[in-house]
């Protein structure tokens, strides 16, 4: 019978998982890779194997409780893909790029808020200075509110 059982263990007679196929070894019921690297997704294991190596993959998965292994494999696959795309920085490069985008968006938001405040009729602002430096904005304002006595 082919496929895997509901418990995640491979059944006898099924095709080897992607890891065992790549490593050219026999895939048995105790294969730690089988539930996470199915034969129809070989690319997942190929990148993880390139980055971490089969021995390290095996050790990492064996040391984790079974209920945490799926998340660990997802993380390893994501990090390995990032490392293959960018061998120097990997995930850190992607995080840095996203952080720069976030800083730029925060600057745009601050500028829009400053323009909105300066265009407001409810409050008088005699002095407002907007400083732009290296993608960030610093807004200095002196707020003087006209208080109407009741």
Pair 80, 95 in one domain: no
pLDDT per position as a tens digit, 53-84: 988 988 999 999 999 999 999 999 999 999 99
In a domain, 39, yes or no: yes
Pair 18, 80 in one domain: yes
**How far is 54 from 61, CA to CA, in rounded Å?**
11
Provide the pLDDT for residue 63: 92
Pair 101, 68 in one domain: no
Domain range for 106: 91-120
Q: For the chain, how many structural domains are there in total?
A: 2
**How far is 31 from 62, CA to CA, in rounded Å?**
10
pLDDT per position as a tens digit, 92-125: 998 999 999 999 999 999 999 888 888 775 555 4
Structure tokens at 41: 């997704």
Pair 39, 79 in one domain: yes
Pair 58, 95 in one domain: no
Provide the pLDDT for residue 15: 83
Pair 21, 49 in one domain: yes
Pair 73, 111 in one domain: no
Pair 37, 75 in one domain: yes
**How far is 120 from 117, CA to CA, in rounded Å?**
5
**How far is 98 from 88, CA to CA, in rounded Å?**
17
**How far is 77 from 70, CA to CA, in rounded Å?**
11
């Amino acid at each position: 019978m082919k496929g895997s059982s509901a418990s995640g263990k491979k059944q006898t007679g099924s095709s080897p998982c992607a890891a065992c196929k790549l490593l050219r070894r026999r895939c048995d019921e105790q294969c730690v890779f089988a539930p996470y690297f199915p034969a129809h997704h070989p690319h997942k294991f190929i990148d993880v194997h390139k980055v971490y190596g089969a021995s390290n993959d095996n050790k990492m998965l064996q040391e984790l409780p079974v209920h945490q292994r799926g998340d660990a494999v997802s993380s390893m696959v994501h990090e390995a893909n990032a490392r293959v795309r960018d061998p120097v920085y990997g995930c850190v490069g992607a995080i840095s790029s996203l952080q720069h985008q976030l800083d730029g968006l925060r600057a745009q938001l601050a500028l829009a808020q400053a323009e909105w405040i300066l265009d407001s009729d409810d409050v008088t602002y005699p002095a407002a200075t907007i400083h732009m430096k290296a993608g960030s904005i610093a807004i200095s304002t002196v707020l003087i509110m006209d208080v109407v006595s009741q």
